[in-house]
Every structure is written in C-alpha cells, then in structure tokens.
Structure 1
C-alpha cells in the first residue's frame, strides 16, 4: 500500500480537460502563464533552433494532454510519437489532433511563439504543423520492460518529457528507474529534454490532490550524468504564479545528449 496521502497520476485517472483549464488555458484567472506557457515555449524554441536537436523521430512522454511544447519540435522532426498513460488523456489529445468539436483551444500559445519569430508578420499554422507531425498516440505502462508493449517504437533522436517524472516518482529510486526507461527509447547520441517543477510536493486537478516528487536541480543533473548523459543546457526560473493549486518553487528545463 502506498502511504502517500495524495493520489498518484499513473494510478488514479484525473480529469485531463480540468488540468488544461487550470494550468494552460487563456482564462483571466489562469495564473501560470509565465511558468507553464511562456517559459517552455521560449526555451524550447531556443533549444531546437540552434540546430543541434533534430532528426526523424521524437517521442513525447509528458503529463496530461498539452501540446504547446511541441511547436518548435515539429519544425525539426519528421515524426512525433506521443505516449500517454491513460485513456482520458488520449481521448483529449485525439480530439484536438482530429480537430473535433469541443477540442481544447490552443490559439493563445501559438500566438506566443509567433510573436518571437522574425517572420511573425507572416501567419504560419503552428498547430497544423504539430498535428501533421504527430504520427501516433500510444498508451504506455511504466512498469513494463517495454512500456509500449506489444508495440516496439523506432529508436528516437529525442525524448521530451514535461511535468511527468515528478508526478510518477514516489522517491529518488523511482525517478532514476523511470528516467532509465526513457533513456532506452533513444538512439546512441540521442537527446533528452526534461521540463518540470522543483521543490513541489503536490498538484491539484479539480478537487483531487496528486503527489509530486520533491526534486532539485542538483539531483536531476547528477541523475542524468549517472545515466550516461552529457548536459548541454539548463535554465531555472523562479516561480511567479500565486496559487495554492501546486506548490513548486521553481521551474527547470534541462537538455542532455546520450554518450555514444
């Protein structure tokens, strides 16, 4: 039995639409815009546009059903394979991919990226590029040796994981074990990008409170190096949001490549 007083993301399903509304929407009372929208969009654009992270296949294994972290990636990868841990997240994402009625609105995030680019006066369909790049949305199981069994994924040039490891790891051992699983998805020399909150103990979706592993930058860096990665980029931002929905202290993005 798990002794945590909070629910676990990969054990207990949460309302994926509620998560989007609380942490990623354009509503006036959504206070996480600087941390959950602008910070990842700005830094991922910088990471991908320098030209070092590109290739055929990118695997996205992130929390919930958000897509804004894939805008820049869709410019540099032919295929994006999205892994989701439960059916509710898969349904929410496919509703957007298929442009069905009731899909979550992401226009406010594509505008954020457009404003950063030199050709911002020329409209470009950022969401359309992501839709075209997403080749598969696959359910996975963290406890299986091959997380997507019976499907075997092609080796990835890059794995990106946003807000997930903190949500599924009960302790340091879990974090290391799951990171190792993600690493096995990569080609030799492949890149991994991690983005999440530091110092958190919980996050809330609707009326439910979920466990978050309390990590710090030193532990993440040490873990990546221990798994054979060379760190290329790391940026930490102090929290700006005022809310008791989640208690992270800072947000981090870190990129590393696997030694060949």
Structure 2
C-alpha cells in the first residue's frame, strides 16, 4: 500500500526533536498532554516493572524524539541501556541531557512524578542520575538495513521498549508489522517487549510541520504481537480527555509482552 498522506515522515524529513519535547513533554502551562504522555506512561511502567519478570543485563530503547521519562523505572531493573536514534538531532538533544550540558531539556517534573507514585520514594531521589549512568550507548540506526546498527552488532537484549516510534515510522499496517518484527529480532529468546503508542492518530505537529502517524486500534496491536509469537502480559488504554489541534489521537496504549521461547 502506498502512502498518500501529504504529511512529512519522521525518519525521512527534518525533525526538530527539541520542539517535539516542548510541545508534548514539557512542564509548560500550555502543554495539555501531560496526563497522557507523561503521568500515564510513568505510572504504567511502574506497574509493569514492579511485577519483577522484566529485568536483565540489557534493555534497548527505540522511541520518539529524545524522551527519557519512560526509562526511569527500567534503569532499576537493567544494568545497561542502549538507546537507538534515527537522526542526529535526536542524538544531540539526548546527549545534551545525558552529559548535563547547559541548555539540556528539563525532565525534573517527570522524575518528581515518579517519586510521588513510588511507595519507597527515597530511593528515587536521584533517578535522573541513575538513568544517566545506566545509558551506556546512544547509537544511530538505519531502519532499512538488515542490521539496523551496522557496522555495530548489538548483544541480544532482555527487553526492547519502544514509545511512539512505530506510530510515526510506519506508513501503513504492513510497515508496522515489518518494523515490529525487526525490533523483536534484537531480543533474546523469551525476551520482553514494551510498546507505548497513540490510538486513532493520523498526524502530529512539530513547529510548522505536520507529520504522519499511523492509525490503528488496540485490537490491531494485540493481533500483531500474537502473530509475531508474543504472549501479552499487560495492557492498559487511557482515553484522551483534552482537545488540542497539535495531534488528533483518541487514546494512549501501554502494552507489554514476552516472546515465546
């Protein structure tokens, strides 16, 4: 199926990662998506990791822009986090935060929310520092290569986490399946995958540009995961409650699954 959308593609056209963070993930008063993009995600991942099944040596993250808040809980359960980014601007923005450089994006509002939700909040007082130390590599990848990180060969991961990336790189449902299959090849036998996405979306706006987003529903994600040999362990969907023209999603989904050995 050919893509007929007039909107830009995240991984093909220029993408301003900082503006994306400001629009959808900041603590500014006019950012209305916080309950969905920040709080809902953090609270769900606390639950997912608290069960204790998802842990190990290596977690690979493939996510939108330069977000980090979805990795706070993960850094308690994995020794090494490898982050893959599709363009240099996302890499530069993320490294600015990891290296604590002047002008780095402020994520303090998200670590504070994590502390408020954790029963043993004292151990999370320096969560950003823990996450920085757990991030071992930030690597550029090419979606169309058989080995996305060529010439680097990544060690098999215990878990892959992907937040909103499949939504924006998939021109159609076949693309979604193809890229999910490629992501799942990064896993060890029996490894886990965690997907965060927006349901019913057709576009999202960054600056003056509208970008393509794949429209899909919960049933589609479940069918794809099962079809790729995953067993679903957790799923939660939050309906959208705010109106804003920047993006037209209907709900946010958090879903976790493990690969059959």
Q: Normalization by structure 1: what TM-score?
A: 0.98
CA distance in 2, matches of 1:148, 1:141: 7
Greater Cα offset, 144-153 or 120-129: 120-129
Residue equivalent to 1:246: 247
Indicate how the Cα distance of structure 1 residues 122 and 230 shifts in structure 2: closer, same or farther if over 3 A, else same. Answer: closer
**Partners of 1:13 and 1:88 within 8 A in 2:** no
Cα distance, 1:204 vs. partner?
0.4
Cα distance, 1:122 vs. partner?
6.2
Q: Secondary structure at the match of 1:19?
A: helix
Residue equivalent to 1:255: 256
**Partners of 2:49 and 2:74 within 8 A in 1:** yes
**Partners of 1:35 and 1:241 within 8 A in 2:** no
Cα distance, 1:117 vs. partner?
1.4
Cα distance, 1:2 vs. partner?
5.1
Greater Cα offset, 115-124 or 9-18: 115-124
Residue equivalent to 1:61: 62
Q: Secondary structure at the match of 1:103?
A: coil
Indicate how the Cα distance of structure 1 residues 251 and 123 shifts in structure 2: closer, same or farther if over 3 A, else same. Answer: closer
Residue equivalent to 2:4: 3
Residue equivalent to 1:84: 85
**Partners of 2:82 and 2:135 within 8 A in 1:** yes
Cα distance, 1:3 vs. partner?
3.1
Q: Normalization by structure 2: what TM-score?
A: 0.98
Matched length: 260
Q: Deviations over 1:81-119 (max 9, x none)?
A: 000000000000000000000000000000000001123
Cα distance, 1:202 vs. partner?
0.2
CA distance in 2, matches of 1:142, 1:123: 35
5 Å-filtered alignment, 1:64-143, equals: 64-120=65-121, 124-143=125-144
Residue equivalent to 2:52: 51
Residue equivalent to 1:172: 173
CA distance in 2, matches of 1:206, 1:71: 28
**Partners of 1:60 and 1:82 within 8 A in 2:** yes
Q: Any runs of at least 4 consecutive aligned residues in structure 1 with deviations exceeding 6 A, and if so which?
A: none
Residue equivalent to 1:144: 145
Cα distance, 1:49 vs. partner?
1.3
| Unmatched tracts of structure 2, length 5 or more | none
Cα distance, 1:259 vs. partner?
0.3
Q: Deviations over 1:118-147 (max 9, x none)?
A: 233566201001100000000001100000
**Partners of 2:3 and 2:172 within 8 A in 1:** no
| Unmatched tracts of structure 1, length 5 or more | none
CA distance in 2, matches of 1:119, 1:192: 26
Residue equivalent to 1:22: 23
Q: Secondary structure at the match of 1:11?
A: coil
CA distance in 2, matches of 1:121, 1:135: 25
CA distance in 2, matches of 1:109, 1:219: 30
CA distance in 2, matches of 1:194, 1:123: 24
